[in-house]
């Protein structure tokens, strides 16, 4: 099987800052690939390369085995890479429907009479949201009225509907409570079952481990490698994420904590 998307030895610098240094990464259809790493490790930068926001300084991107170049997020979007950014790319003052179809509005009519097909958009939005498990009363209500988990659900439903092959989620559970986080994990699993390759970024091993099929660990712009779930334990991931021995040392320094 060919990965749906693949980064080969990608390097990305911002001036003198090396955000990514020769990182390779791939995602297969129907898997959840977790990207883990401390603050500033380069996770957001990596997915911005995947989604066309940044162009890699060096290295290649492949879609279904073909070399591609994304000049803009629109290019990536067209190639089937849907990204839910940390800031969610939601317009809180706009309606659920308008957010759902943002940038891909269905139209009817021709020429100067070409217009947004609001009725169709409302029907689809409502149906897709119900499918993922969110029962919205009024698709015309502002996204600002939705909870954080529901917004993630909306973003995932949107990506799935538009036939994304790759779904990238940047810390979708970080700001959520236990219940809402488990809802989002449920949406992720739903996407995986639909054959989508999911890139899931999180700091929280308790969110990543249950849902992940593979794990890539980033540290200061370099990759510590990719592991199948069978190859690595929850504790080991945690240890690498915390910067190797640091956590053990910290545990020892703190009085009253068993190392």
Tell me how far, at minimum, the Cβ of 73 lies from ligand ATP, in Å.
15
* Interface pattern 50-79 for other proteins (x via CB under 8 A): -x-x------------------xxx--x--
Tell me how far, at minimum, the Cβ of 45 lies from ligand ATP, in Å.
3
**182 near other proteins (CB under 8 A):** yes
Sheet (strand 5-14) strand order: 17-27, 5-14, 58-63, 66-68
Q: Parallel, antiparallel, or unpaired for β 107-108 and 115-116?
A: antiparallel
* Interface pattern 7-36 for ligand ATP (x via CB under 6 A): -------x--x-x-----------------
Are the CB atoms for 36 and 216 separated by under 8 Å? yes
Interatomic CA distance for residues 134 and 116, integer angstroms = 24
114 binds, among other proteins, ligand ATP, Mg ion, none (CB under 5 to 8 A by kind): other proteins
- Find the angle CA(100)-CA(102)-CA(106) to the nearest 5 degrees: 85
CA distances from 13 to 20, 109, 132, 254 (A): 7, 46, 38, 37
Position among 49, 81, 146, 166 found at the interface with other proteins (CB under 8 A): 146
3 state DSSP class of 252: helix
**172 near ligand ATP (CB under 6 A):** no
Interface with other proteins: number of residues (CB under 8 A): 54
Interatomic CA distance for residues 200 and 242, integer angstroms = 18
39 binds, among other proteins, ligand ATP, Mg ion, none (CB under 5 to 8 A by kind): ligand ATP
Position among 21, 38, 64, 189 found at the interface with other proteins (CB under 8 A): 189
Q: Parallel, antiparallel, or unpaired for β 32-37 and 214-219?
A: parallel
Interatomic CA distance for residues 136 and 133, integer angstroms = 9
Position among 11, 62, 186, 239 found at the interface with other proteins (CB under 8 A): 186
Interatomic CA distance for residues 30 and 219, integer angstroms = 26
209 binds, among Mg ion, ligand ATP, other proteins, none (CB under 5 to 8 A by kind): other proteins
Are the CB atoms for 48 and 42 separated by under 8 Å? no
133 binds, among ligand ATP, Mg ion, other proteins, none (CB under 5 to 8 A by kind): other proteins
- What residue ranges bind ligand ATP (CB under 6 A)? 14, 17, 19, 37, 39-45
- What residue ranges bind other proteins (CB under 8 A)? 51, 53, 72-74, 77, 83, 85, 87-94, 98, 101-105, 107, 114-116, 118, 133-138, 141-142, 144-147, 149-150, 179-180, 182-183, 185-186, 189-190, 209-211, 229-230
């Amino acid at each position: 099987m060919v990965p749906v998307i693949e980064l080969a030895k990608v390097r990305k610098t911002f001036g003198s800052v090396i955000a990514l240094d020769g990182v390779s990464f791939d995602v297969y259809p129907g898997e959840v690939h977790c990207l883990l790493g401390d603050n500033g490790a380069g996770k957001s930068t990596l997915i911005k390369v995947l989604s066309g926001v940044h162009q890699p300084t060096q290295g290649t991107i492949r879609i279904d085995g073909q070399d591609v170049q994304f000049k803009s997020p629109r290019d990536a979007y067209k190639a089937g890479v849907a990204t839910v950014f940390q800031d969610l790319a939601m317009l809180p003052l706009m309606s659920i429907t308008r957010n759902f179809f943002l940038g891909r509005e269905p139209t009817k009519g021709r020429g100067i009479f070409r217009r947004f097909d609001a009725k169709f958009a409302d029907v689809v939005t409502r149906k897709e949201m119900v499918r993922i498990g969110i029962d919205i009363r009024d698709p015309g209500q502002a996204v600002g009225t939705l909870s954080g988990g529901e917004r993630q659900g909306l973003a995932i439903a949107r990506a799935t509907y538009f036939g994304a092959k790759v779904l990238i989620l940047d810390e979708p559970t970080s700001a959520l409570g236990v219940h809402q986080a488990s809802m989002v994990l449920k949406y992720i699993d739903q996407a995986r079952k639909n054959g989508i390759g999911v890139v899931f970024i999180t700091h929280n091993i308790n969110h990543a481990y249950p849902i992940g099929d593979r794990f890539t660990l980033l540290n200061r712009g370099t990759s510590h490698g990719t592991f199948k779930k069978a190859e690595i334990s929850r504790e080991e991931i945690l240890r690498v994420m915390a910067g190797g021995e640091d956590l053990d040392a910290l545990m020892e320094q703190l009085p009253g904590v068993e190392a």
